[in-house]
Amino acid sequence: MSAINTALNLTVKVHPVVLFQIVDAYERRNADAERVIGTLLGSVEKGVVEVTNCFCVLHKEHQDLVEAELSYALDVYELNRRVNPSENIVGWWASGNDVTNHSSVIHEYYARECNNPVHLTLDTSLQGARMGLKAYICVTLGVPGGKTGCMFTPINVDVTCYEPEVVGLQLCQKTIGVAPPARSRQVSPMLDLAQVTEASGKLLTLLEEVLNYVEEVLSEKQQPDNSVGRALLDLIHSVPNMTNDQFAQMFNSNVKDLLMVVTLSQFIKTQLQLNEKLTMLSSFIN
């Protein structure tokens, strides 16, 4: 009973790259395939299953059986382990909105690969005009010595992001909310200076909101919130105590390092372009 309660208290955190990979696999599916499945990779720590990667597993679903390329799945997992040793099998995913009759058969295989595998479904059919994301855990039912079965029970699932993923999502969001004729399907990355300008503008807006809140609390126009006060105190203590000269020296040092990296990358780019032109020239001469 304690093992079942522990499994039901799991929380699944999915990174955006996993959702993109599932959608890409669904778009590239065979014409006769109704759905696609695959393996979830990530880590489990303190009741949290963090899904950071995944890959598709070729399969065919018949009325009474499921055929899957398990050797292919094992080879892809071993190759991924060479690159990311920290990523382990944590479950499996499937496109669609519901758990099907074949899900229990597929889940049995992943139950042999990891402990308490999670099942993730992504509604690529966009029912309800949204891409629903659900996570399940399989709970065994039955009486001791009798027939047993299993039931997929929903568990909490959230989307989490690393900082680089946030930048990529913000870039993708620039194509949302624009009239279809004027919407471009391609978005170019912003220049470094433009990103600094945009981030500075957002920071100034947030500082103005904080100052307005503090002024309203001091003037007793708004009821103070202890949690907000503790957050502001932690924010103030996190700011390093340094003089203007120390800050200028630190900033200039970081700028010099950045310029050095940019210069080296330009050198490498130029060398690659020269190598390409010389190769083409030698092919023409020969």
Q: What's residue 52's pLDDT? A: 92
Domain boundaries, the chain: 1-160, 204-239, 247-285
How far CA 220 is from CA of 196, 206, 215, in Å, comes to 36, 21, 8
Domain 1-160: give its CATH code. Answer: 3.40.140.10
Mean of pLDDT values over 240-253: 83
Predicted TM-score (pTM) of the model is: 0.65
Cα–Cα distances (Å) from 49 to 3, 28, 111, in that order, read 16, 27, 15
Contacts of 60 (CB under 8 A, 6+ apart): 33, 66, 67, 68
Mean model confidence pLDDT for the chain: 83
Q: Could you give the CA distance from residue 73 to residue 76 in angstroms, rounded to a whole number?
A: 5
Taking CA atoms, 97 is separated from 38, 57, 125, 132, 245, in Å, by: 15, 19, 8, 7, 59
Please write down the HEC assignment for all residues of 187-221.
CCCCCHHHHHHHHHHHHHHHHHHHHHHHHHHHCCC
* Whole-number Å distance between alpha carbons of 20 and 3: 33
Over the stretch 196-241, which tens digit does the pLDDT of each residue have?
A: 788 888 889 999 999 999 999 898 888 888 888 898 888 888 878 8
Task: Kindly report which listed range (16-20, 182-186, 227-231, 269-273) carries the lowest average pLDDT score.
Answer: 182-186
Neighbours of 76 (CB within 10 A): 17
Residue whose C-alpha is closest to residue 14's, from 129, 172, 127, 122: 122
Whether residue 189 has pLDDT greater than 70: no
Reference 4, options 148, 153, 158; nearest CA is 153
Residue 200's region, left for phi above 0, alpha for psi from -120 to 50, else beta, is: alpha
Helix axes 163-172, 16-27, angle to 10 degrees: 50
